[in-house]
């Protein structure tokens, strides 16, 4: 396994966002990157989808339909339905 310092891992996380993407870069598993993060005490990058989903639900409650929301956010109509009925 390649040696990745704490500072390197923080920079990689800002650029590549996911453990899987960092793992692909170094040809190691996502789990190995996860273990390094835990070893160094680095939290995972927060998921921007949660913020997007809250925005979608708010717009839906204001009267926007799932088809319009799907176009606005670049997601499928079925995904828009799942988001508005899950929250």
Work out the pLDDT band at 2, boundaries 50, 70, 90.
low
Confidence check: pLDDT of 87 > 60: no
Work out the pLDDT band at 49, boundaries 50, 70, 90.
confident
Q: What is the overall mean pLDDT for the chain?
A: 90
Percent helix, strand, coil in the chain (nearest 5)? 70, 0, 30
Is pTM beyond 0.85? Reply is no
Select the highest-mean-pLDDT range: 40-44, 49-53, 61-65. 61-65
- Average pLDDT for residues 34-48, to the nearest whole number? 86
pLDDT, position 8:
92
User: Under a CB-based contact definition with an 8 Å cutoff, are residues 35 and 26 in contact?
Assistant: no
* pLDDT > 70 fraction of the chain, expressed in percent and rounded: 95
């Amino acid at each position: 396994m390649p040696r990745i310092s704490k500072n390197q891992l923080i920079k990689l996380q800002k650029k590549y966002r996911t453990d899987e993407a960092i793992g692909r870069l170094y040809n190691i598993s996502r789990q190995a990157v996860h273990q390094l993060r835990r070893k160094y005490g680095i939290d995972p990058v927060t998921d921007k989808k949660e913020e997007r989903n809250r925005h979608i639900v708010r717009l839906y409650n204001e009267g926007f339909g799932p088809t319009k929301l799907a176009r606005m956010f670049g997601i499928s109509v079925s995904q828009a339905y799942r988001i508005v009925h899950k929250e």
